[in-house]
Amino acid sequence: MRRYAIISFTCLSTLPFAFSNVARAAEGSEADRILVTARGREEAEIGVPDTVTVYGPAAIAARKMATIDDFIAATPGIFIINDQDPGTNVISVRGVSTNRSQSPSIAYIVDGLALADSELFTLRTYDVARVEILKGPQGALFGRSASGGAIAVATNEPGPDWGGEAAVGIGNGFTWTADGVVNAPLSDRVQVRLAGSYRNGEGFIRNSFLDKKVDGQISRNLRLKATMALSETATLKLRASWADEEGGAAYISSGNVTGLYGGRLAGEALTDPFGDFEGRSDRNYWGIQATYEQLLGDALSLSWTGGYDEYHKDFVEELDFRNDTPITLGGIPLFPDGIQPISQPVDILAWTSELRLTSMTDGPLRWHVGLFFQRLERDRTDDFGPLLFGAEALRAETRSNQIGVFAQASYDIAPTIELTAALRYDRDRRKEDTVGTASDALVAQRVQTFDKWQPKISLAWRPNANLTAYVTGAVGFKAGGFNPLPGPADVWEAVFPSETTKSVEVGVKAQSSDGRLRGSIAGFVTDYSNFQNTVFLGNSVVLSVSQVDVHGLEASGDVALGAGFRVDGGIAWTHSRTGRYLTPNPTPEPGEPAIVDMSGKRTPNAPDWTVNGGIGWQGTAGPALVDARLSVAYVSRVDFEIDNILHTPGYTSVDGRVGVTQGAWTFDIWAKNLFDKRWAISAFGQQQLPLLLGLGPNGPFDSFTINTGRQFGASAAVKF
- DSSP letter string over 298-356? TTEEEEEEEEEEEEEEEEEE-SS-S--SSEEETTEEEETT-S--EE--EEEEEEEEEEE
pLDDT at 33: 64
- For the stretch 281-330, pLDDT in tens is 999 999 999 999 999 998 999 999 999 999 999 999 999 999 999 999 98
3-state secondary structure of 696: strand
Say what the alpha-carbon torsion angle 260, 264, 266, 272 is, to the nearest 10 degrees.
60
Q: Is the pTM of this model over 0.75?
A: yes
Total length of the chain: 720
Fold classified for 2-719:
Maltoporin; Chain A (2.40.170)
**Residue 23: enclosing H or E segment and its boundaries?**
helix 15-24
Q: Is-contact 122 89, C-beta < 8 A?
A: yes
Q: What is the CA radius of gyration of the chain?
A: 26
What residues contact 125, with CB distance under 8 A and at least 6 apart? 65, 66, 67, 68, 71, 131, 153
Q: Exposed, middle or buried, 580 (CB in 10 Å: 0-12/13-18/19+)?
A: exposed
- Residues of the chain under the 50 pLDDT cut: 1-31
Burial of 140 (0-12, 13-18, 19+ CB in 10 A): buried
State whether residue 226 is helix, strand or coil. Answer: strand
Separation in Å, CA 20 to CA 23, 361, 562: 5, 32, 21
Distance separating alpha carbons of residues 223 and 126, to the nearest angstrom: 9
CA distance linking residue 608 with residue 599, whole number of Å: 17
Half-sphere exposure of 556 (CA within 13 A, CB side): 21
- Residue 706: enclosing H or E segment and its boundaries? strand 702-706
Separation between Cα atoms, residue 311 and residue 328, nearest integer Å = 37
- What per-residue confidence (pLDDT) applies to 540? 81
Calpha distance 224→241 (Å, rounded): 7
C-alpha to C-alpha distances, 691 to 258, 509, 536, nearest whole angstrom: 15, 50, 9
CA dist list (Å): 378 to 311, 358, 381, 401, 480? 9, 33, 10, 12, 15
Angstrom distances, CA of residue 384 to CA of 340, 587, 683: 8, 20, 19
Residue 501 sits at the vertex; the CA angle it makes with 490 and 408, to the nearest 5 degrees, is: 140
Residues linked to residue 686 through DSSP beta bridges, in sequence order: none
The partner residues of 493 in beta bridges, in order of sequence, read none
Question: Measuring CA to CA, which residue among 556, 549, 578, 565 is closest to residue 516?
Answer: 565
pLDDT of residue 145: 87
**Domain residue limits, the chain:** 2-719
What is the DSSP annotation of 619-666? EEETTEEEEEEEEEEEE--EESSTTS-SEE--EEEEEEEEEEEETTEE
- Tens digit of each residue's pLDDT (9 = 90 or more) over 673-712: 999 999 999 999 998 888 888 899 988 999 999 999 999 9
Q: Are 347 and 309 in contact (CB under 8 A)?
A: no
Alpha-carbon gap, residue 396 to 394, rounded angstroms = 7
- Give pLDDT, residue 516: 93
Cβ neighbours of residue 55 closer than 8 Å, sequence gap 6 or more: 63, 65, 71, 74, 130, 131
Q: How far apart are CA 548 and CA 478, in angstroms?
A: 15
Residues in a beta bridge with 616: 566, 629
pLDDT given for residue 27 in this prediction: 32
